[in-house]
Every structure is written in C-alpha cells, then in structure tokens.
Amino acid sequence: MNSKLPMTDVLIIGAGLAGMSAALSLPPQLRVTLLSKSRFEECASAWAQGGIAAVLDAGDSVAEHVQDTLIAGAGLCDEAAVRQILEQAPAAMAWLQSHGVPFSCNADGSLHLTREGGHGQRRIAHAADRTGHAVHTALLQACQSRSNLTLLENTTALALLQDASDACTGAWLRMADGSEQQLQARHTILATGGMGQIYPYTTNPGTATGDGLAMAWRAGCRLQDLEFMQFHPTALQIDGKAAGLVSEALRGEGALLKLPNGERFMLRHDERAELAPRDIVARAIWAEMAEHGLAYVYLDISHQSRSWLEQHFPGVMALCAAHGIDIASQPIPVAPCAHYACGGIQAGVNGQTEMPQLYAIGEVARTGLHGANRLASNSLLECVVMGRATAQHIAGQPLDSSYELHSNYRNPDKGFSGKSSSNIEQELRQLMLTHVGIVRSNQGLSRAAEQLALWRAQLQDIDAALRNQLDVCTLMVHAALQRQQSVGAHCNTDYPAREMLAA
C-alpha cells in the first residue's frame, strides 16, 4: 500500500549520534521525525568503544589536535573544516555531559583522558570502553522525553523526494509493517552512518549498507573520497572471522602487537610503533600476516593488572572471555577489518549539501575532517558538532506557516522491491575484500569494476539494501581507480606509498 504520512518540519534519517544530536538541538516548536532502519541500539554510535577526542587538558592545545588530524589525514584534509570542528570539541563534550553521559573520571573528578593512535597527547574522553553505549543511552532517553520528536524504529528510507526545482522534500519510506509511504518534510537530514557491510569482515552493524550515500547520489548529490575505507587494525579473530572490536585505546595504554613467537614488529614499520596512525598499523599487520602466512597477529596487554583491566576495559575483557581468552594473562588474536568510511556526501560542517533542504551529517557526510585517513575518535566528535551546527542552521531558516509542499515532485527511483540475494551479497563482499581491501592494484580494481557492472546489468529483482551496496561499491571502485597514488587508507601497489618510498 502506498500512502502519505502527515508532513513533518524536519525528517532525520538515522538515529545514531549524529541524528540524535541534531534532533535534540532543534527548537522544540519544530515537529521532528527521527528514523532508525533497525532497532535504535543497532548503530555504530552505540557500539563505539574508545571515546571522543577533545582538547580538555591544560597541557594540550587545539593547534596540536589539528596537527595530529592533518598528519593522520595524509595531506588530504580540509584544514578549515578541521579547525572548525576541533575548536567545537570542548563545547560538544559539555553538551554531552549536560545530557548526563557518565564519562570516566579521575579521583579528583576531572575527566579521565586516554590515548589512541596518531594522537600526540592524552585527549580521548571515554566511558570505560563502552563510550558509545553510554552516549547513546543518555541521548535516546532525552529524545524519548521530547514531545516534538516522533521516533520510528524499523523504518527504512528508500529514496529522497525532490520537487521540480530539485529541492529535497522528504523521503519515501518502508514502514515497520511493510507498507510504503511518503513523508514530506521542509528539511531532510541524512544521518545514515557508514557502509562497512560491503566487506565480509567489519566492525559495523548490519544497518551500515551505505543507504544514505546511494540515495543522495541517485538524487544528484556529489560524493567524495569514497576510496578511503579505513580498516581498523585490531578486530578480535575467532575461527577466521571478526568477532568484535578490540579498542585502539588498549594500544594507547601500552598494549603491544606481536607475532606468534612473541616478537614485536611495529617498530620495523614506523617509529611511532603501535601508536602510528591507523592506516599504517593496519597495513603493517596485513604485511606481517602475508609474510608469515598468518590468519592473525597478537595484541598483548597482559602487563596491566587484572583489576586495572577490569576498570578500564570491561567490554573488551568480557568479549574476549566469551571466546575463552583471558586478556590479563593471554595475548588477543587480532586482524584488520573494515571500519569507517572517510568519504561521503559533500557537506559543510553545518550539514548543507548541494541540494536545497537536504543535509548530511556524521559518517555519511564528507566534510574534509578526515582526509585520506580518520584520526581515531574524531568521528563521534564530528557527529555531535555537525548535528548541533545543522540544527542551528535549520533554526535560522524562516518558518513560513502557510508553507505548502509541492505535490508535483518527481517520482523517485526507489530501487528494486524484490528479495535480497544472499549469494550475491556474499560474492559482492568477497569481491570487495579481494580487490578493494587494504592493498589494491589497478588490475584488481578493474576486475572489480567489470564484475560490478555485470551484476548491475543482470540483477533485476533485488532488495533496496543490496542495490544500495552495488551502487556504493561501484562508486568506491571508480574513485579508487581515479586515485592514481597511494595515500592514507588507499594503497595501490601500482603506485608506491610515500612511506614505502621513504623505506
């Protein structure tokens, strides 16, 4: 059944940290509809471990945070966006604390700050190693208490609606009961998160299928930097599969990467060793695994006492214990896996895209903060800063009470309505891992492009989620082929990386 829902002032597609930060920052007189494709808890935000980067210590400075971000981004960040976002970090933290997020504190009541790769200072605020859960729970409770917010779980946006002048006027939705309905909105915010599910091994939740990217691209928005898919160096490896994330904060607290014979190897790859930026550590592990024929390497934090580990890393301890690993006495088997989309829909820090009335915030957006490789714990920060800035921008727009939405909008391309083909989904993920993984080549990328073109021509009856994945994979492969250099998270053996040249 196709029908129309009552119009809303602001439609927010995605209820992770970006979407909820925007929702809570909009003026209470606006009617806001907040969607989640699955249950609210199934989003990257709720799963985040390490924390939120912010300059909160007198010995640290925004200039140093900017410098670390630019270095990690391998020269491809937009410096103005970097400054704008990082300067807002203390205010973003204060805002989260005002919503009751229980960050870990020192005995004197000050925030406990930890460290992660690429950061020259301790500047990661966290709630033990369950930061995402703490932030998400507090903000979801706040959203549920706001009478101007309508929260819809298990509701999927299929396509954006556009009027005759190309402005965005809402979205076409698949509701929890399976019906399809149009929801018209004065402003639409895409906050759909990432696309890690296009790989067989990922830290991302099942919702991360690149829907926002594909919808925006089909509606005519420009995407940028898609070739920079960040692989997290240390996902727990059990029976050849990624069984969950082992936070980078362990390395920040002294954990060492080792071969099965106990030999430490990171110093052979980078003088910053275990605390080098993430792309470098992931590539070093990949190289060691290839050289020694290993399915994983080890991360060892057994120098810390059991009581200290229970206090700082209860989540990782429990995850490993569930697989029979006692991190206080045993090293943890780890390998890299797909983690974060550094690129996305071109957007300003206030979420504005090229399309009138359409905003993109959080991981789905590309502001230029991350460049070719995101600095650890900068993304939760970006979600809060963008969510708040977008709400402020929308609040500044005139609210014409006689405003009528156009009824003659174009019929949107919703994708196909058929069933998902799990076979193709698996083949697609394997193709991406084989040819568009940590290390790529022109030949492999071309093979991937050919196979994707074949599937796109052949497959007529597939679900919207699979269609979105085919679209974003195709766009990523084309971006990777166009990038004729190795930089940051994009490493192509046909173009030696700068660090390879220096070695």
- Under the rule (CB under 6 A), what is the footprint of ligand SIN? 49-50, 247-249, 376-377, 379
Candidates 88, 137, 182, 207; binder of ligand FAD (CB under 6 A) is 207
19 binds, among ligand SIN, ligand FAD, none (CB under 5 to 8 A by kind): ligand FAD
Q: Tell me the torsion sign for CA atoms 168, 170, 174, 176.
A: positive
278 is catalytic: yes
Q: Is 234 in the site for ligand FAD (CB under 6 A)?
A: no
> Is residue 380 at the binding interface for ligand FAD, with CB under 6 A as the rule?
yes
* Residue 56 interface partner, choices ligand SIN, ligand FAD, none, CB cut-off 5-8 Å depending on type: none
Nearest of 480, 501, 399, 412 to residue 218 by alpha carbon:
412
Q: Give the list of residues 6+ apart from residue 46 with CB closer than 8 angstroms, or none.
A: 16, 40, 132, 133, 136, 137
Q: How near is the Cβ of 411 to ligand FAD at its closest, in Å? A: 19
DSSP strands (E only) in 164-274: 168-174, 180-190, 223-224, 229-238, 241-245, 256-258
Question: Considering beta carbons, is residue 50 or 210 the nearer one to ligand SIN?
Answer: 50
Give the CB-nearest residue to ligand FAD: 16
Reduced to 3 states, what is the DSSP secondary structure of residue 186?
strand
If the CB atoms of residues 81 and 208 are measured against ligand FAD, the closer one turns out to be 208
Binding part of the chain for ligand FAD, among 43-51, 104-112, 159-167, 472-480 by CB under 6 A, reads 43-51
211 binds, options ligand FAD, ligand SIN, none, Cβ within 5 to 8 A by partner type: ligand FAD
DSSP 222: -
Two tokens, residue 212 = 């926002």
Site for ligand FAD in 139-178 (CB under 6 A): 156-157
Report the residue number whose CB is nearest to ligand SIN.
Answer: 50
Least distance from ligand FAD to the Cβ atom of residue 268, Å: 27
Shortest spacing between CB 117 and ligand FAD, in angstroms: 12
Of the candidate residues 7, 285, 383, 470, the single one contacting ligand FAD (CB under 6 A): 383
Give long-range contacts, CB 8 A cutoff, 24+ apart: 236-239. 236/319, 236/320, 236/323, 236/332, 236/333, 236/334, 237/295, 237/296, 237/333, 237/334, 237/335, 238/323, 238/333
Please, which residue, 49 or 156, has the CB nearer to ligand SIN?
Answer: 49
Q: How far apart are CA 234 and CA 231, in angstroms?
A: 9
C-beta of 380: minimal distance to ligand SIN in Å?
Answer: 7
Residue 316 interacting partner from ligand SIN, ligand FAD, none (CB closer than 5 to 8 Å by kind): none
Burial class (CB in 10 A: 0-12, 13-18, 19+), 177: exposed
Which residue bears the tokens 């082992």? 246
For ligand FAD, the closer CB: 83 or 370: 370
In whole angstroms, give the CA distance from residue 184 to residue 205: 28
Nearer to ligand SIN, 21 or 379 (CB): 379
Closest separation between CB of residue 17 and ligand SIN, Å?
A: 12
Name the token pair of 341. 């989309």
> Which segments within 347-442 are labelled E, that is strand?
358-360, 365-366, 439-440
Angle, alpha carbons 178-383-188 (nearest 5°) = 45
Q: Does 50 bind ligand FAD (CB under 6 A)?
A: yes
d(CA 351, CA 346): 9
| Residue 127 binds ligand FAD (CB under 6 A) | no
Write down the catalytic residue from 83, 130, 186, 278.
Answer: 278
Place of tokens 């029908």: 3
Q: Of these partners, ligand FAD, ligand SIN, none, which one is at the site of residue 44 (CB under 5 to 8 Å by kind)?
A: ligand FAD
**Rg of the chain on CA atoms, in Å:** 22
Lookup result for tokens 């298990």: 154
Q: Does 316 bind ligand FAD (CB under 6 A)?
A: no
The residue among 155 and 373 lying less far from ligand SIN, judged by its C-beta, is: 373
Question: What does the binding site for ligand FAD look like in residue numbers (CB under 6 A)?
Answer: 13-19, 35-38, 43-45, 47-51, 131-132, 156-157, 191-193, 203-204, 207-208, 211, 245, 340, 362-364, 377-380, 383
Catalytic center residues = 278
